[in-house]
């Protein structure tokens, strides 16, 4: 009962009417989505191979091929521009959601569209990225696969009758499964979906997510084999003797993450200032990419083979520096133009080259260092992207899953958290959420236990609530409220008790106003006009459950009664008392308590 509508009778919804999360049903759907994501990853990689062979080598083949061995000569400058024109056409006449690297768009669907993704995205995103990479785009397929897998999960959720929470889990299952199938990293796929899409860590979402990721990886085994995306031999990580060098690498990775994120959005801002229609921006970016690719062919295409070469210490220091600079430049200018492509693989390449170059440089400066370039490349690869995306845990696990070498864990953890700490200090938003923040969306990526589930109603309720007799006249109650008697001054409602002090109803000030309009004399007894069908809570119930009752029944306060004697009033829970539970967490976070040393002093 609330304000002017207070005369309506509110009844607590029976448990049978509550909509519960259907874990078994969602897990079953997740299994199908996982298999579909595995097949999507396979088909998209084949489509990229087909377009790469067609455009660079003029042959009909779907084998995954690096375009750096092409024989197009100067014509390679125009090829990415032609691909940009196609992307611009698809974005203008298809859907603008194909632009970008995929993950922010999936995050936006969760935040603003109740996890609904348009069917166009599931078709045009993989097609657009195949065109972009097939014409030389320096992107990875993983971001678009993540977005496409998420779109498939969302479409299943839209096809069937379900809640937004269930649909969000299916979207995350598709996205995580896409990551797992692409890189053969099922654990990292699960954690990435939790950190960037689910915004929760609960059994109801974790179980379907693991099911989807497992089956996506198993599907990859069938259609693509068991080998990892990046093959790496035995590497000496030099722990603990090299920990000091890893500390320095962590600082470098942190500033690299900050610099790359800022540079990407700086380039985007420059394109937005161009006096040219947005349709042409991807073509302009493609023209710049083609020019870079003409002089450094290794920056063209996905570059998985180049990443493997860096991890296995196959390149000279000069080539590593060239890859680091020109691949980053190619990625910034092309992705900043608004084309379609994944961010993970190119950032992996640049950061791996940086890590390997760092180790080689120290070996040159410190002859006794004997640092393994492949080890530092792997650690930097996970640390830079993890820090830039605020998904540190996911990419610690990702790098570990690539090597399956437990010796990599300590340097990965150390370098990644140092890089993440620096990124959090100098970046207000991650590389994934900056675009959303510019659109007015705030993404809270820190997870904590809901304080309302930790506090019981009995701990925050008013134990001496405002009460009136059921035989009191309405006019008398109105008069007492008008005199601002302490019992009624701070509360918008009074609980109604009969002669035996049993709870029989509730009456709000809004009810009184409506009743006095009908009966100006106010000569009716409160027990005859109060709302008698009460929504109640209990002292041993947590505040979160009580809040659910407030929202479900559209009321602003709840009488607190004993479970064994439901008419025995023991308290009152209103909005102010609910906020009192939150104030406890605020105090824990912001109030410093004196320690032993200060008390002794």
Digit-coded pLDDT (tens) for 232-247:
888 889 888 899 999 9
**Any bridge partners for residue 508, and if so which?**
493
Which domain-ending residue is among 385, 415, 438?
438
- Whether residues 63 and 147 fall in one domain: yes
Q: Six-digit token pair at 328?
A: 């980053």
| CB-count exposure of residue 201 (10 Å: 0-12, 13-18, 19+) | exposed
Res 256: pLDDT: 96
Residue 11 is assigned to a structural domain of this protein: no
Res 2: pLDDT: 38
- Whether residues 291 and 354 fall in one domain: yes
Residue 446 is assigned to a structural domain of this protein: no
- Whether residues 456 and 313 fall in one domain: no
Which domain-ending residue is among 393, 415, 438?
438
- Over pLDDT 70: what percentage of the chain? 94
Res 576: pLDDT: 80
Tell me if residue 319 falls in helix, strand or coil. helix
- Over pLDDT 90: what percentage of the chain? 40
Ranges of beta strands (E only) in 465-523 are: 467-469, 493-497, 503-508
Ranges of beta strands (E only) in 421-577 are: 467-469, 493-497, 503-508, 557-561, 569-574
Range of lowest pLDDT (250-254, 274-278, 443-447, 533-537)? 443-447
Q: Six-digit token pair at 549?
A: 């009752």
Cβ neighbours around 93 below 10 Å, total:
9
pLDDT at 462 over 60: yes
Match 């049978």 to its residue by tokens: 16
Match 């995929």 to its residue by tokens: 102
pLDDT one-digit tens code per residue, 431-452: 888 888 887 777 776 667 777 8
pLDDT at 4 over 50: no
- Whether residues 410 and 463 fall in one domain: no
- Whether residues 461 and 561 fall in one domain: yes
Residue 6 is assigned to a structural domain of this protein: no
The closest of 200, 198, 185, 336 to 272, measured between CA atoms, is 336
pLDDT at 218 over 60: yes
Res 17: pLDDT: 45
- Whether residues 375 and 523 fall in one domain: no
Residues 6+ apart with CB under 8 A from 70: 56, 57, 76, 297, 300
pLDDT at 18 over 70: no
Cβ neighbours around 447 below 10 Å, total:
11
Residue 181 is assigned to a structural domain of this protein: yes
Distance CA(252)–CA(248), nearest Å, equals 6
Let me know: does 193 contact 173? Beta carbons within 8 Å: yes
Residue 12 is assigned to a structural domain of this protein: no
Sign for the pseudo-dihedral over CA of 78, 84, 88, 94: positive
Q: Global pTM?
A: 0.81
Q: What is the CATH number of the domain that holds 486?
A: 3.10.580.10
- Whether residues 276 and 412 fall in one domain: yes
Residue of 165 and 111 predicted with greater confidence = 165
Mean pLDDT of the chain: 86
Res 555: pLDDT: 84
Match 């020109």 to its residue by tokens: 326
pLDDT one-digit tens code per residue, 120-130: 888 888 888 88
How many CA atoms are closer than 13 Å to the CA of 356, on its beta-carbon side? 31
pLDDT one-digit tens code per residue, 497-532: 988 888 988 888 888 888 888 888 878 888 888 888
Residue 42 is assigned to a structural domain of this protein: yes
Q: Where are the alpha helices (DSSP H) in 66-141?
A: 79-93, 103-112, 119-134
Range of lowest pLDDT (14-18, 134-138, 259-263, 356-360)? 14-18
Query: Residue 599's pLDDT band (boundaries 50, 70, 90)?
Result: low
Query: Domains in the chain: how many in total?
Result: 3
Res 12: pLDDT: 42
Read off the pLDDT of each residue in 553-574 and give the average, rounded to a whole number.
87
Q: What is the CA radius of gyration of the chain?
A: 30
Res 5: pLDDT: 35
- Whether residues 185 and 156 fall in one domain: yes
pLDDT one-digit tens code per residue, 270-287: 999 999 988 999 999 999
Residue 600 is assigned to a structural domain of this protein: no
Cβ neighbours around 448 below 10 Å, total:
8
Tell me if residue 597 falls in helix, strand or coil. helix
- Whether residues 198 and 293 fall in one domain: no
Range of lowest pLDDT (103-107, 170-174, 417-421)? 103-107
Read off the pLDDT of each residue in 103-123 and give the average, rounded to a whole number.
80
pLDDT at 562 over 50: yes
Which domain-ending residue is among 192, 224, 256?
224
Read off the pLDDT of each residue in 248-254 and give the average, rounded to a whole number.
97
Domain that holds residue 534: 452-587
Q: Give the Å distances, CA to CA, from 18 to 163, 291, 548.
A: 12, 61, 11
Res 487: pLDDT: 67
Query: Residue 13's pLDDT band (boundaries 50, 70, 90)?
Result: very low
Question: CA angle at residue 196 from 338 to 265, to 5 degrees?
Answer: 30
Query: Residue 59's pLDDT band (boundaries 50, 70, 90)?
Result: very high
Let me know: does 341 contact 129? Beta carbons within 8 Å: yes
Distance CA(162)–CA(182), nearest Å, equals 29
pLDDT at 7 over 80: no
pLDDT one-digit tens code per residue, 303-358: 888 999 999 999 999 999 999 999 999 999 998 898 888 788 899 999 999 999 99
pLDDT at 586 over 90: no
Question: What does the DSSP assignment read for 299-364?
Answer: GSS--HHHHHHHHTT-S-HHHHHHHHHHHHHHHHHHHTTT-B-BSHHHHHHHHHHHHHHHHHHHHH
How many CA atoms are closer than 13 Å to the CA of 136, on its beta-carbon side? 37
pLDDT at 267 over 90: yes
Match 């180790």 to its residue by tokens: 359
Q: Six-digit token pair at 69?
A: 């061995």
- Whether residues 482 and 426 fall in one domain: no
Range of lowest pLDDT (412-421, 488-497, 502-511)? 488-497
């Amino acid at each position: 009962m609330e304000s002017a509508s207070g005369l309506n009778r509110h009844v607590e919804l029976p448990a049978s009417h509550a909509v519960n999360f259907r874990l078994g049903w969602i897990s079953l759907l997740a299994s199908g989505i996982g298999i579909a994501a595995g097949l999507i990853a396979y088909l998209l990689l084949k489509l990229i191979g087909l377009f790469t062979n067609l455009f660079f080598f003029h042959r009909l083949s779907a084998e995954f091929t690096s375009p750096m061995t092409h024989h197009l000569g100067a014509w390679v400058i125009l090829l990415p521009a032609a691909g940009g024109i196609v992307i611009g056409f698809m974005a203008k006449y298809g859907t603008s959601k194909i632009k970008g690297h995929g993950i922010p768009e999936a995050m936006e669907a969760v935040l603003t569209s109740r996890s609904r993704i348009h069917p166009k995205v599931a078709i045009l995103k993989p097609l657009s990225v195949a065109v972009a990479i097939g014409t030389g785009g320096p992107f990875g397929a993983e971001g678009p696969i993540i977005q496409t897998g998420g779109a498939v999960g969302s479409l299943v959720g839209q096809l069937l009758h379900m809640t937004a929470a269930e649909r969000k889990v299916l979207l995350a299952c598709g996205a995580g499964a896409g990551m797992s199938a692409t890189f053969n990293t099922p654990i990292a796929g699960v954690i990435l979906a939790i950190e960037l899409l689910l915004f929760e860590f609960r059994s109801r979402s974790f179980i379907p997510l693991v099911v989807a990721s497992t089956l996506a990886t198993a599907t990859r085994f069938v259609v693509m084999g068991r080998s990892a995306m990046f093959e790496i031999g035995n590497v000496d990580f030099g722990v603990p003797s090299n920990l000091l060098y890893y500390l320095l690498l962590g600082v470098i990775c942190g500033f690299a993450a900050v610099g790359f994120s800022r540079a990407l959005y700086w380039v985007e801002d420059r394109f937005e200032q161009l006096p040219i229609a947005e349709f042409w921006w991807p073509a302009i970016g493609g023209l710049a990419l083609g020019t870079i690719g003409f002089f450094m062919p290794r920056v063209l295409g996905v570059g998985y083979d180049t990443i493997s070469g860096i991890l296995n210490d196959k390149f000279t220091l000069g080539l590593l520096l060239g890859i680091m600079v020109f691949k980053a430049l190619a990625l910034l200018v092309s992705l900043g133009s608004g084309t379609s492509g994944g961010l993970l693989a190119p950032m992996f390449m640049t950061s791996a080259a940086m890590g390997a170059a760092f180790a080689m440089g120290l070996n040159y400066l410190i002859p006794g260092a004997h640092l393994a370039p492949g080890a530092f490349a792997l650690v930097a690869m996970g640390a830079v992207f993890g820090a830039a995306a605020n998904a540190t845990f996911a990419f610690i696990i990702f790098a570990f899953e690539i090597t399956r070498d437990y010796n990599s864990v300590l340097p990965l953890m150390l370098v990644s958290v140092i890089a993440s700490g620096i990124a959090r200090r100098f970046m207000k938003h991650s590389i994934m959420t900056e675009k959303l923040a510019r659109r007015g969306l705030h993404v809270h990526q820190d997870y904590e236990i809901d304080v309302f589930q930790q506090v019981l109603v009995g701990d925050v309720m008013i134990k001496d609530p405002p009460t009136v007799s059921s035989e009191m006249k309405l006019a008398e109650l109105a008069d007492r409220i008008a005199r601002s008697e302490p019992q009624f001054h701070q509360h918008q409602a009074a609980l109604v008790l009969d002669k035996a002090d049993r709870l029989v109803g509730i009456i709000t000030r809004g009810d009184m106003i409506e009743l006095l309009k009908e009966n100006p004399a106010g000569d009716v007894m409160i027990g005859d006009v109060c709302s008698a069908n009460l929504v109640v809570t209990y002292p041993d119930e947590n505040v979160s459950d009580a809040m659910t009752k407030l929202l479900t029944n559209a009321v602003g306060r709840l009488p607190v009664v004993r479970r064994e004697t439901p008419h025995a009033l023991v308290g009152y829970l209103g909005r102010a008392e609910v906020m009192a539970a939150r104030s406890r967490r605020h105090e824990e976070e912001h109030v410093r308590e004196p320690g032993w040393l200060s008390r002794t002093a």
